[in-house]
A and B are shown apart, each in its own frame.
Chain A
Amino acid sequence: MATDHETSTLDARPSDRVLAVVMIVIATGAIVFSRDMSIMASVFPRTIATLLLVFSAALLIKSFVVHPRRARPEPGSVGRRLGLIAVMLVWSFALKWLGFLAASLISAAALAVLAHYHAWTPRRVGGYAIALAAIIGAFYTLFAVVLNVPLPVGLLWRQL
Chain B
Amino acid sequence: MDTLSFMAAALSPINLMLAIVGVAAGILIGALPGLSATMAVAVLVPVTFGMPPEAALIMLGAIYTGAIYGGSYAAILVNTPGTPSAIATTFDGFPMAKRGDGDLAVTLSTLSSMIGGLVGAVALLTLAPLLAQIALKFGPVEYFWLAIFGLTLISALSEGSTLKGFIGAGLGLLLSTVGVSVIGADIRYAFGSQFLLGGVETISALIGLYCIPVLIDLVATPSAHLEPPEEGRGIRFGEGLSLMWRGKFNALRSAIIGTAVAILPGAGGSIASLVSYSEARRTSPRSDQFGKGEPDGVIATETANNATVGGGFIPTFVLGIPGTPPDAVILGALLVQGFRTGPEMFTTNVGVTYTFIGGLFIATLLMLPIGLLIGRYAFKSIVSIPKALLVPSIAFMTIIGTYAIRNNPFDVVVMVVLGVVGWVLSRYGVKPSPIVLGLILGPIAEQGFVQGYLMGNASGSVMGAFFGRPLSLAIIALVLLSVLFPLWRAWRTRSPKETANGH
Contacts and interface: CB of A to CB of B under 8 A. Distances in A.
Interface of A: 1-3, 5, 12, 15-16, 18-19, 23, 26-27, 30, 33-34, 37-45, 48-49, 51-52, 55-56, 58-59, 62, 68, 70-71, 73-78, 80-81, 83-85, 88-89, 91-93, 95-96, 100, 104, 107-109, 111-118, 128, 131-132, 135-136, 139, 143, 147-152
B284 interface: no
Nearest to A42: B186
Interface residues of B, number: 75
B457 to A, nearest CB: 11
B188 to A, nearest CB: 6
A41 B184 contact: yes
Interface in B255-298: 291-292
Q: Is the interface of A mostly helix, strand, loop or mixed?
A: helix
B393 A135 contact: yes
Contact of A19 (B181, B429, B450): B429
Contact of B429 (A16, A40, A76): A16
Interface string B443-463: 001100110000000000000
B403 A59 contact: no
B43 interface: yes
Given A55-B166, A115-B392, A77 B218 contact: no
B429 A70 contact: yes
Contacts of A73: 427
Given A15-B429, A34-B188, A40-B450, A132 B393 contact: yes
B161 A68 contact: yes
15 contacts: A1-B291, A19-B167, A34-B188, A37-B181, A38-B184, A41-B181, A44-B177, A48-B174, A70-B428, A70-B429, A107-B395, A115-B391, A116-B386, A149-B403, A151-B400
Given A48-B170, A76-B217, A131-B389, A1 B431 contact: yes
Given A34-B188, A100-B400, A135-B393, 8 more contacts: A1-B159, A16-B429, A44-B177, A51-B170, A52-B174, A112-B389, A135-B396, A143-B400
Contact of B221 (A16, A77, A147): A77
A104 B396 CA distance: 7
A108 B395 contact: yes
Contacts of A139: 396-397, 400
